[in-house]
Amino acid sequence: MARNKGTSGPNATGAATAPALEQGELERDLANADSPQKSGAVLSKIFHVRSDEVALLKLDNGLLKFLFPAELTTAGKIPISSSTAVAAHTAVSKKVELFNNFTRVKHASIFESIKPGGENSEDVRPATIHKLMSAPVLNKADEVLGVIQVCHKGFDLGSTGPDFTLDDLQQLERAAKALSQAVFMQSGK
């Protein structure tokens, strides 16, 4: 499967999920979010997704560590050499990726283990990721600081919402650029 700025799946022309924000507004909102938790909340709002559909990962010594959501901060680390983790591929390739048929992509499924809203009830089963966007967070020297991902989860394709669009992907790239300035994303901080 090609991993590039193109969409995947037969329904690649779905409606945009994130209304375009002015670059200054996006940067301001993310600049005011001085923690991974606040940044995750801003990203959830921007893309109209639940907080368990946003992931912020920081690269540290060849490993990607979840900074957000809180439920995954103790879930372990993803080696960038992983052949099954999309976040690792995004970090290595330094390219944005969009999958509107993510269930067909071979991937590590730890992110899908989060129950909606972080609930601990055994009655609530985690939803499957059906659509995903992934972008590298790069510093000014084009070095990878981390990865940001936004997805649509659901129990079936019909419950996941519209496809992500190229406009959504561009907005995610802008968000990644703004997050590159965050203190919590900087090396050794």
How many Cβ atoms from other residues are within 10 Å of residue 106's Cβ?
A: 9
Q: Write down the number of H helices and E strands in the chain.
A: 4, 6
Measured CA to CA in angstroms, residue 138 lies from 2, 115, 122 at distances of 22, 30, 39
67 belongs to a structural domain = yes
Residues 15-58: tens digit of each pLDDT: 444 455 566 777 778 877 889 999 999 999 989 998 889 999 99
* Pick from 91-95, 158-162, 185-189: least confident: 185-189
What pLDDT does residue 161 have?
81
52 belongs to a structural domain = yes
Comparing 180 with 128, which gets the higher pLDDT?
180
- Identity of the residue numbered 104: R
Residues 116-148: tens digit of each pLDDT: 454 554 545 667 888 999 999 999 999 999 999
Kindly report the three-state secondary structure assignment for every residue of 5-16: CCCCCCCCCCCC
Task: Answer yes or no: are the C-beta atoms of 55 and 111 closer than 8 Å.
Answer: yes
- Token readout for 84 is 């099954």
User: How many residues in the chain?
Assistant: 189
What pLDDT does residue 75 have?
78
9 belongs to a structural domain = no
What pLDDT does residue 146 have?
97
Residues 155-172: tens digit of each pLDDT: 777 778 889 999 999 999
What pLDDT does residue 15 have?
45
Q: What is the mean pLDDT of residues 56-78?
A: 91
16 belongs to a structural domain = no
Q: Is the dihedral of CA 171, 57, 115, 13 positive or negative?
A: positive
* Pick from 63-72, 81-90, 125-134: least confident: 125-134
Comparing 1 with 108, which gets the higher pLDDT?
108
* pTM beyond 0.85: no
Q: What is the mean pLDDT of residues 7-16?
A: 41
pLDDT tier at 185 (50, 70, 90 boundaries)?
very high
14 belongs to a structural domain = no
Separation of alpha carbons 8 and 10, rounded Å: 7
168 belongs to a structural domain = yes
- State how many domains the chain has: 1
CATH number of residue 120's parent domain: 3.30.450.40
Q: Is the dihedral of CA 77, 80, 86, 90 positive or negative?
A: positive
44 belongs to a structural domain = yes
Domain with 123 in it:
23-185
